[in-house]
């Protein structure tokens, strides 16, 4: 996922991650511009998942949100 896309969608993605993984805190999902690798490292350690698994989770959440947005846009 492109950095720009990640930053644009991060509020939704982080809330979904916190819902799925109740052990995540706000500081665990804090995304600071230019420090995406730090975020990934925190998530890898906290969730005991690889970087590829975290990226797949984030992409899955983003894709679901995109579909939901597209569906809502077609209704209006």
Q: Report the candidate in 74, 49, 69, 51 with the shortest Cα–Cα distance to residue 8.
A: 69
Say which CATH number the domain at 23 has.
1.10.1470
Q: Which domain holds residue 16?
A: 3-75
Q: Report the candidate in 17, 19, 21 with the shortest Cα–Cα distance to residue 30.
A: 17
Instruction: Place 1 in a pLDDT band, splitting at 50, 70 and 90.
Output: low
> How many domains does the chain divide into?
1
Q: Report the candidate in 25, 62, 19 with the shortest Cα–Cα distance to residue 45.
A: 25
Instruction: Place 7 in a pLDDT band, splitting at 50, 70 and 90.
Output: confident
Is the model's pTM score more than 0.95? no
Instruction: Place 34 in a pLDDT band, splitting at 50, 70 and 90.
Output: confident
């Amino acid at each position: 996922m492109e950095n720009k896309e990640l930053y644009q969608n991060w509020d939704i993605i982080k809330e979904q991650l916190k819902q799925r993984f109740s052990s995540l805190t706000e500081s665990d999902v804090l995304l600071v511009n230019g420090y995406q690798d730090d975020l990934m490292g925190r998530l890898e350690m906290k969730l005991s998942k690889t970087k590829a698994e975290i990226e797949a989770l984030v992409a899955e959440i983003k894709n679901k949100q995109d579909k939901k947005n597209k569906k809502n846009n077609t209704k209006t």
